[in-house]
Structure formats: C-alpha cells, structure tokens
Amino acid sequence: MNDNWVFRREKTLETAGGYLIRIKMKLKKILAPYGQEFPSGYKFSWIAYNVKNDGERVLFDNHTNKPPHIHTNGHEEYFTWISLAESEKLFLARVQQRFGYFEIELGKI
C-alpha cells in the first residue's frame, strides 16, 4: 500500500431524489515539486454514481497535465481548488444537484 494516501472512502446511500448512489473518494499526497494540476500537493479522484446505472455520475479528478476538473453527464469543466474542505463541499453540492439531497458531514464519507 502506498504511504502517500491521505484517505480512501466509500459509501452507499439513498438520496431524496430516489437514487441509490455510491460515492468513492481517494486523495493522495504528491511530494514536491508539483504543478497546477496537483493543487496543494494532492492527486484525487472522487466519483458518485447511480448504482442502477453507473453511466449517471459526477466525477472530480486531476492528473498529470490536467488541473482539477469535473465530469458530469459527458460535460467537462475546470474548477479552482481553494482547499480540501471547499473542494469536498463543491463535490457534494454537485452530487446533490445531480441526484437529490442527502445528509452527510464533510469527511464522513
């Protein structure tokens, strides 16, 4: 196992919109030097998808030569990483926007 993992989380829950969704969040610390694609030295992959149709999803990620971005329904857009907490809030807001409300505390997935 890689010592640089900050966390790996998974949770399945039902939303107010009637969706059963699976959320998977992985965050890895990247050692310096790192560029704009790894804000604050993090590499991440956060996905939420409909358990009954995994093509319905919200994905936040970054990778070499590509800064933080969001994939939703075949659409991709960049976002500005402010902090881990703010990025997690944005991810959860986008997941709720797509699938309906659910209660969860930051860092509790």
Residue 76 covered by a domain: yes
Residue 90 covered by a domain: yes
Amino acid code (one letter) for 52: K
Residue 109 covered by a domain: no
Residue 105 covered by a domain: no
- Is residue 104 predicted with pLDDT exceeding 80? yes
What domain range is 17 assigned to? Answer: 5-99
Residue 104 covered by a domain: no
pLDDT, average across residues 92-106 = 93
Task: For residue 1, name the pLDDT band (cuts at 50, 70, 90).
Answer: very low
Cis peptide before 33 (omega within 30 of 0): yes
**Residues of the chain with pLDDT > 70: what percent?**
97
pLDDT tens digit sequence for 37-64: 887 889 999 999 999 999 999 999 998 8
Provide the number of structural domains found in the chain: 1
DSSP string for 25-57: EEEEEPPSS--TTSGGGEEEEEEEEETTEEEEE
Q: What is the side-by-side order of every strand in the sheet holding 42-50? A: 5-14, 20-29, 42-50, 53-63, 66-72, 75-78
CA-based nearest residue to 109, from 20, 13, 16, 44: 13
Residue 75 covered by a domain: yes
